[in-house]
Structure formats: structure tokens, C-alpha cells
Chain A
Amino acid sequence: MILVEGLKKRFGTVQALQDVSFSAGDGKITGLLGHNGAGKSTTLRILSTVIRANEGRALIDGHDCSTDPLAVRRSLGVLPHASGLYAHLSGRENIRYYGELHGMRGAELDRATDQLIDRLALGAVAERRAKGYSQGERLKVGLARALIHRPQTIILDEPTNGLDVNAVRMLRELIRELRDSGRCVLFSSHVMQEVAALCDDIVIISHGRVVVRGTPAEILKATGAPDLEEAFVRAADQDEVA
């Protein structure tokens, strides 16, 4: 469960977030949609407690991102858009490293690691060094690493960028599975089709502001557009026209 109220963030003279408010429920997939530079990554970075907002409030499963970041991090799994694996460690070692930093040890860690390697069909790949991984293998290990501590809330930053069709299908399947097990999934994208194919709720962000949010049907209604793509274009540009 994510709750965001009136987030503002400034980097030097650039006002990256003007006013961002939305919520993402458990058992739902929420898409954060916007052009490049609209403020998606900044919002996700504030939620993952890597940076702090200047104003406003962000809660994850009831924990405040700025006052209790450690509690937030315990219930949060993050897949950044660069996989950021350690090239000289094997897939399994990469996954275990994150598990250990989550305080997992011994049999509990072994079991969780094996389950994820199994579920993601990593098999022998997990024993190889990450140096020679393909895009899809890197994504899988990155996902396993983000899910090792069974987080309630999962944030994915542009996860499908640069992936081939098979990897994208695998990812979608996994995201639906996470939703069906009652998790809250938030992912960002600048591709409308991507979001339309997967999301229960959509938040469209433009120039650091949320311009439209709701289910796909609600968004069509609010923008008066014939399809979601048109709705996105209208909503995202609305701000510029105004």
C-alpha cells in the first residue's frame, strides 16, 4: 500500500516535483506513466527512500519514508532500471547478498534463494558470474534480488526498457502473480501500451504534477479520448497548453 500526498522536490533551481499525490492499493498493479523527465524517477526515488522530498508525505505500508526509512525499506522491494548486479559475483551470490543485508541468515536464506531461483527458472544460470548474463538473465536475477525478503510493496522503474519479447512476457506474468498474492505493485513507464496491458490503476504525471489518475475506464472518461494512447497524449500535454 502506497500513499503519496503533495510531494514537492527541488534540485537546485529545478523544481522536479510540483505536486504529486496518488495511492496504490494492495492486490493491484499501478502504473506511473509520463514522458521522460516528467518526474517518475524522482517520485520512485523518494518512495524508495534514496532521496527525501522537500514537502509532502509518502507512506509505504503505513511507514513514513522520511521519518522511518528503515521500516519502509524492510517492506519494500525495488527493481531499478539499471540492473546493477555485481559482475564478479554469481547470480546466487548477488541474491544472497541482498538477503543478508535484509538480515536473513542460514536455512531461511537458503530456502528463499532456492525458491526464487526455481520460480524464475534461473537454474544453472544462478551459479555463473553475472558478467556474461543476457538482458533477460540480468532482469531475472535483479527481480529475485528485489523479492528475496518477500516485500509487501514492489517498485519497478522502467522494467521493460531494452528487453526482448520473451523477457517482457515473463515479467508481466510475474507481476500479475505478485498482484494475485495480494502485493502492491507500482511500476513506471513512458510506454502507454505497456501500462494498458497490465495495470489496474494508472497515474499520469507531467511536469512534476499528477494530471489524471484512475482505472483505464475512468481515464478514458475524464479525458474524453477514444483510446488510452490518445488519453495519455492529451493528459500529458494538457499541462503545457494550460
Chain B
Amino acid sequence: MGAVWTVFRKEVLENLRDRRVILSAFFFGVLLAPMIFGLTTTMVSKRAVANQDKPLNLPIAGASNAPNLVQFLRENGAKVEDVELTSDEAIAAVRSGRQDMVLLIGEDYGKALQAGESAPLSLVVDTSNSNTSPSADRARQLLSAYGHQLAVLRLMVRGINPAVIEPVGVQTLDVATPAGRSLLILGMMTYFCFMSMLVGGFYLAIDTTAGERERGSLEPLLTLPVSRSQLIVGKMLATSAFMSVSLLLTLATFGVVLTFIPLEALGMSANFGPRVILPIFAIMATFVPLGAGLMTVVASFTRSNREAQSWLSVVMMFPIAPIMFAVVTGTKPSAALMAVPSLSQHLIATSLMRGDSIPALHVLICAGTTLALGALLVGIAIRLYRREAILG
């Protein structure tokens, strides 16, 4: 055990002095990831807020043809603007982006309305422009509300119950909890946590195998009265320590960053105090042995530092892919999914952030399978270190 501790201490000391390691391990986790996260969430929430509060600007060509409609639109918060455009000019204006949309009211509108026919209105919009589609939706809603109001009045005049034109009454009940709505955004966080955990151990995993071999320090090390398993275990412990510290720092930084992000403006609440951070750390830390073992195993097959780096950047995608998939599809936790390492940590971590209750069985399966797989990979790494081919 003494030798394992000696190796561990030396690896930690040596790597703490390596600026390259410190930069990549802690720069990404502590600065870069929270910064990207902060910027994107701030932008998303600002935009959502802006779209809700902005009055609807509605340019109308031919407003004098429909004074009642224009009055209705004004009463419902639209800022009506009179424009002199033919229909071709309106189409050109919207296509080029000079106008977000234009409502065209023809001269025959009033006549058709009086005759009880369907009065023609054209709303010129560009659905490929995602910036304007929320206001186009609002304009459409206002117009159909006006139409609905007229229809109801006409039916009542004829003594008919307006319900006949509403055979089904659809009511939408929004059950999203405030924290639940922020799930997509917070889901990004587990992705960043995994990244920073793996990046934190990246250079150490390479250094313990390909690096030592390339520098010529491996061979004399193997002539010391210490078993190779002790050497590699000490090295993997150092890798794990860097990964854990990197993870913890990232989580702590997220805790700080989230207090500056206007999540409340989106109707979300961020549930991210120390009481949530520590359990998240604990559940994510079960992935550390697996990550350390995986990176060490891959690095032992490579011939040089450079080769190890390119292989490991590919390997780092494996644990991250299931998370990206889950964030995009909105996968819900289930006992079966808890057997998938990285995905299970992601699901439990997001549940913790939402404030949902987590079945003990899920935690057990998640930690059990991940640690078992970790033990397997550590075992493989030890076996590989015992081969003669480790000398290259």
C-alpha cells in the first residue's frame, strides 16, 4: 500500500506543476463550460421574455377597408401601422426582411362581409424566419379570434346556439412545473460536468502509459521492487483524483453562475444549492473509476502521446453521446436505463435538479452497474500494464 501512496503523491505533484494539465483540466471545467452555459441560457431566456412583452407590430395595407377589424386589433394590443403597399410589394418587403409581416385588406372585404360571405384577408409572413414566427402566430390568433367573434354574433342573431360551431371544446392544461421547464437547459449541465470530469483526467491517463514510455521513464520504473499493479493503481488513483476535483469545481462554479442567470424570468426556478450539488457530485463520481479505467486502457494501446491524445478525444464521446441523446429526446428515468452508465448519472442528476423524488432502486442500479463496469476496466488496465508490450 505504501508504494501505491508514493506513486499517487508523485503523480499529483508532478501534474499540478504541469501548466498544460492545469489549463486543460481546470480551464475547461471552471471557466469555459460555465461561461458557454451562462451565455446560452441568458440568451434563450432574454429572447423568450422579449417575445412575450413586445407589442405586436402589425403593418396593414388597406386599413380603411376594415375599420372594425383594425379597431379590434388595436384593442387587443397590436400596434397597427398604416402602409401603402400592393400585394406584390408586400410580398417583396416580407421576403427581404424589411417587414416582419403585412396584413392585406382588399377593397372587396367590406362587400363580402356585408353579403355574409367569407371576407378575404391575406397575412404575408415568412415561416422560415424563426425570429418573426412567434409574432406571426400572435397575429393569426388575433385574426381568428375576430372571425370567431363575428361568427358567434351572426349565429346569435339567427337564434342559434354558438356551440354548434364548436363540436369539441379543447382545453390545454400546462402541467410543467417551473423547475421542470428548465430541464432542457439544466440537462446541458450534466453534459458539461461529464466533459470536465473526463478532460480533468485526460492528460494523467496518457501520462501514466504512453507518456512514461515516450519519455523513457517507464523502463527504470519497472526495475523497482514494486509490483506493476501497485504502480498502475497509484497512477489511476491520481487520474481519479484529478477527475473528481475537476467535477466538483465545475459543479460549484455552476452553482455560482446560476445565481446570475435570470431563470426566474422564464418561469423557471433553479434548484442548485449545496444540498443538491453534493448528491449530484456523489452520483456522478461513481463514473470516475470507469472513466479513468477506460482512458488508461485506450492509452496503453497507443504508441505515443500524440496518438493517445487523438484516440482519447474520440473515446471521450462515448460517455457523452447517451446524454446528448437523452437531452434531445427528453428521455424519462426508468430502472432499465439505470443500467446504462453516464445516461443513468445524467437522469438522476437532472431529477435531483428538478426536485423529483428518486427511487432508491434506481440509485442502486446506477451506482452498481457503473462501479462494476469501472472495476472491470481497471482490471483490464492492470492486466495490460503487466504485458511486456507495454514497453513498446
Q: Do A97 and B216 touch across chains, with their CB atoms under 8 A apart?
A: no
Q: Is A52 an interface residue (CB 8 A)?
A: yes
Q: Do B217 and A86 touch across chains, with their CB atoms under 8 A apart?
A: yes
Q: Do A146 and B220 touch across chains, with their CB atoms under 8 A apart?
A: yes
From the candidates B3, B14, B216, name the one contacting A101 in the complex (CB within 8 A): B3
From the candidates A49, A71, A81, name the one contacting B223 in the complex (CB within 8 A): A49
> Which residue on B lies nearest to A69, using beta carbons?
B225
**How distant is the Cα of A89 from the Cα of B323 in the complex, in angstroms?**
39
**Nearest Cβ distance between residue A237 and chain B, in whole angstroms?**
30
> Which residue on A lies nearest to B231, using beta carbons?
A101
Q: Do B6 and A101 touch across chains, with their CB atoms under 8 A apart?
A: yes
Chain A residues whose CB sits within 8 angstroms of the CB of B225 once the complex forms:
70-71, 73-74, 101-103
**How distant is the Cα of A45 from the Cα of B220 in the complex, in angstroms?**
10
Chain B residues whose CB sits within 8 angstroms of the CB of A73 once the complex forms:
223-225
Chain A residues whose CB sits within 8 angstroms of the CB of B117 once the complex forms:
none
Q: A50-B391, A73-B225 are in contact. Are A80 and B14 (CB under 8 A)?
A: no
Chain A residues whose CB sits within 8 angstroms of the CB of B2 once the complex forms:
100, 103
Q: Do B17 and A88 touch across chains, with their CB atoms under 8 A apart?
A: yes
> Which residue on B lies nearest to A155, using beta carbons?
B223
Q: Do A101 and B223 touch across chains, with their CB atoms under 8 A apart?
A: no
Q: Is A133 an interface residue (CB 8 A)?
A: no
From the candidates A48, A78, A84, A101, name the one contacting B226 in the complex (CB within 8 A): A101
The 0/1 profile, CB within 8 Å of A marked 1, for residues 211-223 of chain B is 0000111111111
The 0/1 profile, CB within 8 Å of B marked 1, for residues 29-73 of chain A is 000000000000000010011111000000000000000001101
Number of A-B contacts (CB under 8 A): 81
The 0/1 profile, CB within 8 Å of B marked 1, for residues 174-188 of chain A is 000000000000000
Q: Is A217 an interface residue (CB 8 A)?
A: no
**Nearest Cβ distance between residue B106 and chain A, in whole angstroms?**
80
Main secondary structure on B side of the interface with A: helix
From the candidates A70, A89, A103, name the one contacting B14 in the complex (CB within 8 A): A89
Q: Is B64 an interface residue (CB 8 A)?
A: no
**Nearest Cβ distance between residue B210 and chain A, in whole angstroms?**
14
Chain A contact-residue range equals: 20 to 34
Q: Is B18 an interface residue (CB 8 A)?
A: yes
Q: A84-B217, A88-B17 are in contact. Are A101 and B224 (CB under 8 A)?
A: yes
From the candidates B6, B17, B18, B216, name the one contacting A83 in the complex (CB within 8 A): B216
Q: Is B227 an interface residue (CB 8 A)?
A: yes
Q: A84-B215, A86-B217, A103-B2 are in contact. Are A52 and B224 (CB under 8 A)?
A: no
**Nearest Cβ distance between residue A109 and chain B, in whole angstroms?**
11
Chain B residues whose CB sits within 8 angstroms of the CB of A71 once the complex forms:
225
The 0/1 profile, CB within 8 Å of A marked 1, for residues 364-392 of chain B is 00000000000000000000000010010
> Which residue on A lies nearest to B225, using beta carbons?
A73
Q: Do A80 and B10 touch across chains, with their CB atoms under 8 A apart?
A: no
**How distant is the Cα of A146 from the Cα of B223 in the complex, in angstroms?**
10
**How distant is the Cα of A85 from the Cα of B216 in the complex, in angstroms?**
8
Q: Is A222 an interface residue (CB 8 A)?
A: no
Chain B residues whose CB sits within 8 angstroms of the CB of A129 once the complex forms:
17
Known: A48-B222, A88-B14, A89-B10. 15 other contacts (CB 8 A): A45-B219, A48-B219, A50-B219, A70-B225, A73-B223, A73-B224, A78-B223, A84-B215, A84-B219, A84-B221, A86-B217, A98-B220, A98-B224, A103-B2, A145-B220
> What are 12 A-B pairs at a CB distance below 8 A?
A48-B222, A50-B222, A73-B225, A74-B225, A76-B223, A84-B219, A88-B15, A89-B10, A89-B13, A89-B14, A98-B224, A103-B2
The 5 closest A-B pairs by CB, nearest first: A82-B216, A84-B217, A84-B216, A73-B225, A88-B17
A contacts, CB < 8 Å to B = 45, 48-52, 70-71, 73-74, 76, 78-89, 93, 97-98, 100-103, 129, 142, 145-146
